[in-house]
Amino acid sequence: MIAHVVLFRPRRDLSVDRRRALAAAFEAAVQQIPSIRRARVGRRLVLGRASEALTRADYPYMAIIEFDDRDGLTAYLEHPAHKQLAAQFFGAFEDALICDVELADGTAGLAEFSRQ
């Protein structure tokens, strides 16, 4: 499975209308792009743990979009609905971290990590 992970901090001056437009573009992408297997968005949960103080950047929101494989991710990235979403997103954030991750179930993902 491939996860497209987006951590982001919206611009402080982002209007309600721009927030709604971004949400609408995300909803349209999820509905229109068949290669998306699951899409989730959430707000960071802060529990007051010591490890949270080690975080260098605060991204209050995260989106995770899942695909079966690389072809599915590529289809998403090239789809016109994603282009509309990107146009909204890139004007809406103050800072973001975007990465694509190939995930394995259980401890299988650590197998490659432990070989290096």
What is residue 116's predicted lDDT score, i.e. its pLDDT?
67
Domain count, the chain: 1
Run of H or E residues at 39: strand 38-43
In a domain, 116, yes or no: no
Q: What is the pLDDT of residue 110?
A: 80
Is pLDDT of 57 > 90? no
The predicted structure's pLDDT at residue 43: 96
Q: Is residue 103 part of a domain?
A: yes
- Percent pLDDT > 70 in the chain is 99
Let me know if residue 115 belongs to a domain.
Answer: no
| CATH code of the domain covering residue 14 | 3.30.70.100
Domain assignment of residue 94, yes or no: yes
Three-point CA angle 79, 22, 76, nearest 5°: 20
Mean of pLDDT over the chain: 92
On the question of pLDDT at 51 being above 90, the answer is: no
Tokens representing 73?
A: 């991710």
Average pLDDT, integer, range 55-70: 93
pLDDT of residue 96: 95
Give the C-alpha distances (Å, rounded to integers) separating 4 from 12, 20, 46, 72, 97: 25, 22, 23, 11, 11
Is the separation of the CB atoms in 104 and 12 below 8 Å? Answer: no
Range of the domain at 14: 2-110
pTM of the model: 0.88
* Least confident piece of the model among 32-36, 76-80, 83-87, 103-107: 103-107
Residue 74 CA: distances (Å) to CA of 41, 44, 91 = 20, 27, 22
Report yes or no on 99 lying in a domain: yes
69 domain residue, yes or no? yes
